[in-house]
Structure 1
């Protein structure tokens, strides 16, 4: 009797599995966000080298300085750059005097040596770029509960980072599809993962004045600040590529010498 009941239960279970496998499944509703989300557009970057192969590319110092200007005048109001010290800016072409002036214009947290109370002081070249907010709570309170990310490593922190950030900065002019409602306090940007982003359009034509006379269009400013942020993410990029090319040349010469030595050693040996 027990075997019969066990056999019957197993048979019912098998029939249920077969029915579930053979019955047509209901179509999964399409995600409306995925339908309007767009992938990042590709742009040409000098530091990626010819054909984007990233072997012989070098940073354009003039572009890096323009990008720093965009960050300083626009982005730094909300976004920090905590891994970059003022003295690092000498690597993109600023003189020692310019670095000191840039640092002196910023205030950093300090301690009053006489009272021991919290205070501020002009930054030194050895100091890091100050955060625009004292803490996360203050940052969220000032940005409708959204936390502006630190931009030091933003290019490496996002897939296809430089093209993504470039597309994001230039994607605000695209209108949402008909019937798509953007929640209050958010802004439509098809390159953002949820297409609704808390950050308002940060750049407008002519928003900064470049000293070298470059036209400060949204597209140009976006490319410049992205190039600067690529440098903050990978300041060693040029050195690493130089070492890599040198290593390849060295190994090539060593391989040729090893082959010639092999031919010389075995030249008198009959096959």
Structure 2
């Protein structure tokens, strides 16, 4: 009798849980169907795939590309965006010499203290300094950028889904709102009231389609690459700076994977060895047969 009551109680609770789950699924489905379509939900695009040498479990850094990406950041992006988690001395990992790192650091003005007066000032950077913000504070940043604060780029490719591809797609994704269409549907035809605010720019790869940042890379040769390097097209410069920001967000990525595979191999070998040792140690011991009732 007790067993029967337990079975019935278990069935009751199982049915109750399934009923609750079913109601939740139906409610979510109905909410999704009833949710009003918006321009953002209909025309926001996912980042296009970006093939970088660092992609995948066996990826490696393309140092020449990272140096080109740093050049794009320094000559274009650094005017608005900081890299507050990257020190100048970290650039040695990209193949720069100590003298080159020192020269790069000296080309930036960083906050300092006057040794004679104790007052705050700006001084040339040192290799131990971190990349400074181009603005003294958020208020100044908003005043210079249509009330928008340019984000720090140190961890941008980790903070966004498909970060490397997102950066590349965003930089090359500026479009004309009046002519943009997806699958034959035009934004202005589907949502006549949707518009880009004054000072904003239409970009379908940005979450709300409107971004305060104007297109930073607009013309071929905007950054002059060294002889022997690929042609500095907008797509190439965008790819290079995306690769560089991938490195700033995860500089140990390649080293971690290079160390990880031998560790996994050792653990697999140790597991097999332990299993074989167990079989060898217990081989002579036979399990006892259970006594007949």
TM-score normalised to structure 1 length: 0.84
Matched, 1:73 2:87: no
Q: Which residue of 1 aligns with 2:139?
A: 137
Tell me how far apart the structure 1 counterparts of residues 39 and 123 of structure 2 sit (CA, whole Å).
Answer: 51
Matched, 1:33 2:35: no
Q: Which residue of 2 aligns with 1:217?
A: 233
Which segments of structure 1 move beyond 6 Å, counting only runs of 4 or more? none
Question: Once structures 1 and 2 are overlaid, which stretch shifts more, 230-239 or 211-220?
Answer: 211-220
Q: Following TM superposition, by how much is the alpha carbon of 1:259 offset from its aligned partner in structure 2, in angstroms? A: 3.1
Q: Which residue of 1 aligns with 2:66?
A: 64
Secondary structure at the aligned position of 1:131 is classed as coil
Q: Which residue of 2 aligns with 1:207?
A: 222
User: Relative to structure 1, is the Cα distance of residues 27 and 107 closer, same or farther in structure 2, using a 3 angstrom cutoff?
Assistant: closer
* Runs of at least 5 residues in structure 2 that lack an aligned partner in the other structure: 1-30, 181-186, 288-293
Q: Following TM superposition, by how much is the alpha carbon of 1:88 offset from its aligned partner in structure 2, in angstroms? A: 0.2
Q: Which residue of 2 aligns with 1:95?
A: 97
- Superposition CA RMSD, Å: 2.2
Q: Following TM superposition, by how much is the alpha carbon of 1:269 offset from its aligned partner in structure 2, in angstroms? A: 5.4
Tell me how far apart the structure 1 counterparts of residues 35 and 273 of structure 2 sit (CA, whole Å).
Answer: 63
Q: Which residue of 1 aligns with 2:272?
A: 256
Aligned pairs, number = 244
Tell me how far apart the structure 2 counterparts of residues 40 and 63 of structure 1 sit (CA, whole Å).
Answer: 21
Cα contact 2:92–2:101 (8 A) shared by 1? yes
Q: Which residue of 2 aligns with 1:4?
A: none
The match for 1:166 among 160, 168, 186 is 168
Q: Following TM superposition, by how much is the alpha carbon of 1:213 offset from its aligned partner in structure 2, in angstroms? A: 2.7
Secondary structure at the aligned position of 1:120 is classed as strand
Q: Following TM superposition, by how much is the alpha carbon of 1:34 offset from its aligned partner in structure 2, in angstroms? A: 1.6
Q: Following TM superposition, by how much is the alpha carbon of 1:266 offset from its aligned partner in structure 2, in angstroms? A: 4.2
Q: Following TM superposition, by how much is the alpha carbon of 1:256 offset from its aligned partner in structure 2, in angstroms? A: 2.6
Q: Following TM superposition, by how much is the alpha carbon of 1:228 offset from its aligned partner in structure 2, in angstroms? A: 0.5
Tell me how far apart the structure 1 counterparts of residues 36 and 271 of structure 2 sit (CA, whole Å).
Answer: 59
Secondary structure at the aligned position of 1:240 is classed as helix
Tell me how far apart the structure 2 counterparts of residues 227 and 27 of structure 1 sit (CA, whole Å).
Answer: 41
Question: Once structures 1 and 2 are overlaid, which stretch shifts more, 116-125 or 87-96?
Answer: 116-125
The match for 2:156 among 154, 157, 178 is 154
Tell me how far apart the structure 2 counterparts of residues 160 and 27 of structure 1 sit (CA, whole Å).
Answer: 29
Secondary structure at the aligned position of 2:240 is classed as helix
TM-score normalised to structure 2 length: 0.78
Tell me how far apart the structure 1 counterparts of residues 35 and 100 of structure 2 sit (CA, whole Å).
Answer: 59
Q: Following TM superposition, by how much is the alpha carbon of 1:125 offset from its aligned partner in structure 2, in angstroms? A: 0.3
Question: Once structures 1 and 2 are overlaid, which stretch shifts more, 92-101 or 33-42?
Answer: 33-42
Tell me how far apart the structure 2 counterparts of residues 93 and 263 of structure 1 sit (CA, whole Å).
Answer: 51
Question: Once structures 1 and 2 are overlaid, which stretch shifts more, 96-105 or 111-120?
Answer: 111-120
Q: Which residue of 1 aligns with 2:54?
A: 47
Tell me how far apart the structure 1 counterparts of residues 79 and 224 of structure 2 sit (CA, whole Å).
Answer: 18
User: Relative to structure 1, is the Cα distance of residues 30 and 88 closer, same or farther in structure 2, using a 3 angstrom cutoff?
Assistant: same
Cα contact 2:135–2:141 (8 A) shared by 1? yes
User: Relative to structure 1, is the Cα distance of residues 267 and 224 closer, same or farther in structure 2, using a 3 angstrom cutoff?
Assistant: same
